[in-house]
């Protein structure tokens, strides 16, 4: 007899990750998992093991814990990324309320809820097919590919494996571009001042990764080109930069922090920053951009600074996610 719970289709939204708390040990566990990923850090393994365990993990957890503490959702006692990703999954599930076969869930690549735990729960709930949606509009080996790695590692432990699809990046999806443009227009219209320039800041990757063939810089450039065209802006009005570098290696340029300082020093008084590579607000947008870079701008002579929120679980943000899901579920429903 066929199990009545079988035959379901799972949709698993996956974002980067979050610590469970801001204390030293919670941060250390999170950073160790993240920085032990060979897709994230491609340097010599023996050397990196020493640097990670004897230098980084003795100092960085306290500093990052303080940064997370600035943005922590105290009502839910969790990071904003977890709050927003959960809401995105709940709203996507609600949009499929009339399709009883579709089960929507969410996971984090690093931290909790883990990808293996949610895949196992979906499989036990009768999902014979699962679509995994990495919430990274632009593909990078250190983001999208490592989600796929974790998914297939989890499948190795299953005797009855569900069929799996990994959603393609959506850096040029019309729904995503329209949502970004509309959010920028709406946010700027509410300001009492007009920006002299706008920066589209993306998370950076080491230049060496790009030299090896990672398409990430090209995907970011295409998103920015399409966004400029949609907003009717040129390269001076909407500039592309890259943030969040660490270590001594060269990363892809131009750097966000250096661009922010240079614009202010060059006479730009009003600046807005949008972060198209992030599907949800997180440490890199709320603390690094809205905090650190706003301070850099003001210290260098700038006057007004605006960090435009990510698409998050807004109507536009959900339309972009739904567009990706519908595209990838073709042939399944």
- Same domain for 54 and 86, yes or no, is yes
Question: What is the spatial distance between Cα 286 and Cα 289, in angstroms, rounded to a whole number?
Answer: 6
- Same domain for 115 and 262, yes or no, is no
Within a domain: residue 333?
Answer: no
Within a domain: residue 231?
Answer: yes
- Same domain for 143 and 269, yes or no, is no
- Same domain for 20 and 148, yes or no, is yes
- Same domain for 251 and 154, yes or no, is no
- Structure token digits, residue 57: 């993990």
- Same domain for 85 and 123, yes or no, is yes
Question: What is the spatial distance between Cα 146 and Cα 300, in angstroms, rounded to a whole number?
Answer: 38
DSSP state of 230: H
Q: Answer yes or no: are the C-beta atoms of 112 and 121 closer than 8 Å.
A: no
* Residue 2 in this model has a pLDDT that exceeds 80: no
CA atoms within 13 A on the CB side of 236: 2
| pLDDT, tens only, 181-237 | 999 999 999 999 999 999 999 999 999 999 999 999 999 999 999 999 999 999 999
| pLDDT, tens only, 237-253 | 999 999 999 888 999 99
| pLDDT, tens only, 110-157 | 999 999 999 999 999 999 999 999 999 999 999 999 999 999 999 999
By CB atoms closer than 10 A (0-12, 13-18, 19+), residue 137 is buried
Within a domain: residue 247?
Answer: yes
Within a domain: residue 126?
Answer: yes
- If one counts the domains in the chain, the total is 2
- Same domain for 158 and 184, yes or no, is no
> What's the average model confidence in pLDDT over 34-40?
97
- Same domain for 111 and 77, yes or no, is yes
CA atoms within 13 A on the CB side of 15: 27
> Residue 308's closest CA among 181, 217, 140?
181
Domain ranges, residue 263: 174-307
- Same domain for 195 and 261, yes or no, is yes
- Same domain for 150 and 41, yes or no, is yes
- Same domain for 217 and 298, yes or no, is yes
Within a domain: residue 69?
Answer: yes
Residue 6 binned pLDDT confidence (cut-offs 50, 70, 90): low
Torsion of CA 107, 108, 109, 110, to 10 degrees: -140
Q: Answer yes or no: are the C-beta atoms of 274 and 308 closer than 8 Å.
A: yes
Within a domain: residue 1?
Answer: no
* Residue 1 in this model has a pLDDT that exceeds 50: no
Q: What is the pLDDT of residue 248?
A: 87
Question: What is the spatial distance between Cα 326 and Cα 324, in angstroms, rounded to a whole number?
Answer: 6
Within a domain: residue 3?
Answer: no
- Same domain for 15 and 122, yes or no, is yes
Within a domain: residue 115?
Answer: yes
The radius of gyration computed from the CA coordinates of the chain, to the nearest angstrom, equals 20
Q: What is the pLDDT of residue 186?
A: 98
Q: What is the pLDDT of residue 247?
A: 86
- Tell me which H or E stretch contains 118: helix 115-124
Question: Can you give the CATH number for the domain in which 69 is found?
Answer: 3.40.50.1400
């Amino acid at each position: 007899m066929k199990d009545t719970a079988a035959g379901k289709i799972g949709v698993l939204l996956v974002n980067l990750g979050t610590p469970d708390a801001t204390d030293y040990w919670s941060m250390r566990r999170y950073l160790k998992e993240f920085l032990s990923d060979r897709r994230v850090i491609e340097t010599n393994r023996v050397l990196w093991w020493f640097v990670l365990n004897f230098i980084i993990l003795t100092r960085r957890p306290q500093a990052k814990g303080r940064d997370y503490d600035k943005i922590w959702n105290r009502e839910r006692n969790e990071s904003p990324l977890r709050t927003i990703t959960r809401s995105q999954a709940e709203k996507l599930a609600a949009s499929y309320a009339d399709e009883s076969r579709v089960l929507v869930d969410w996971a984090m690549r690093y931290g909790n809820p883990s990808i293996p735990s949610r895949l196992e729960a979906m499989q036990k709930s009768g999902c014979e097919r699962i679509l995994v949606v990495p919430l990274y509009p632009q593909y990078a080996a250190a983001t999208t590919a490592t989600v796929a790695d974790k998914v297939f590692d989890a499948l190795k432990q299953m005797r009855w494996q569900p069929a799996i699809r990994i959603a393609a990046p959506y850096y040029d999806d019309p729904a995503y571009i329209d949502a970004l443009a509309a959010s920028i227009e709406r946010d700027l219209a509410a300001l009492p001042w007009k920006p002299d320039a706008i920066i589209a800041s993306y998370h950076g990757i080491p230049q060496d990764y790009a030299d090896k063939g990672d398409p990430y810089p090209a995907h970011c450039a295409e998103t920015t080109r399409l966004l400029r065209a949609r907003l009717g802006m040129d390269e001076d009005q909407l500039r592309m930069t890259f943030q969040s570098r660490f270590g001594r290696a060269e990363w892809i340029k131009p750097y966000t922090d250096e661009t922010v300082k240079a614009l202010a020093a060059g006479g730009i008084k009003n600046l807005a920053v949008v972060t198209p590579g992030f599907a949800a607000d997180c440490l890199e947008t709320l603390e690094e951009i809205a905090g650190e870079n706003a301070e850099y701008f003001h210290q260098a002579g700038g006057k007004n600074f605006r960090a435009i929120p990510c698409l998050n679980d807004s109507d536009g943000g959900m339309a972009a996610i739904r567009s990706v899901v519908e595209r990838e579920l073709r042939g399944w429903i």
